[in-house]
Structure 1
Amino acid sequence: MSSRLLVQERATLICIQETKLSVVCNSLAIEILGQAFDYDYLPALNVSGGILLGWDREVWTVIDVTKGRFTLSAKIAEKGSSHNPWWITIVYGLQLDHEKVEFLEELLRFRDACPGPWFLCGDFNMIYGA
């Protein structure tokens, strides 16, 4: 992905799952997102997972970031407005049965602790094969 694509599409909020990156440094984030974006990330475990959330700092204010084993969540509000903040959670779920249960329990704990409008997206991996 290139920051040119983000500019072309006028994206202001970016969620990338399965980055496979254990570290996201500022120079890499700028290369991916561009200069206008702030970011946070959940590192990959070995060569699995990894989540990157980027937001255009002129459009969005991130009030709080919460990281779990399978999730990266942020409370977001439009810049200049303290009204109607909402939560976004980006997920990367694993495929083993015991991990599926842990994943769903993590989502439930987050939801119980963080009420209000919530957008949930990502790679759930709940059904890998029929």
Structure 2
Amino acid sequence: MFSITVRDHVMIAHSFRGEVFGPAQRLHGATFVVDATFRRPGLDADNLVVDIGLATRELRALLGELNYRNLDDEPEFAGVNTSTEFLAKVIADRLAGRVNEGLLGEGARGLEGITVTLHESHVAWASYERAL
């Protein structure tokens, strides 16, 4: 299986509901380093997994929709604990939508999967992996 990963970052604010979250129940900020890994069993006609420029552009555009937002104020996240794991899935699903819309080029149609990893720090991160 071949893969390529592009990286960016996003800064958000949010709070959590539930005693398990301790002080994170209060409003706080988070900066995530975001890795998006695209996978396919064989390379396309140009010997690529996916066009790295298009993948980078689309990840940046997608993260721009979340950047500098208080997720507690966003209607789509109302009443949801926007954990690192949850946000990894949101980003992966949105990237998959962009692949399906053709925004990562025709070569991306051969992709079989995406994994999104959000790094909370140098010692903690969470991922979500999905098929295409």
Normalising by the smaller structure, the TM-score range is under 0.3
TM-score normalized by the length of structure 1: 0.28
TM-score normalized by the length of structure 2: 0.27
Q: Which one has more relative contact order, counting CA pairs under 8 Å at least 6 apart? A: 2
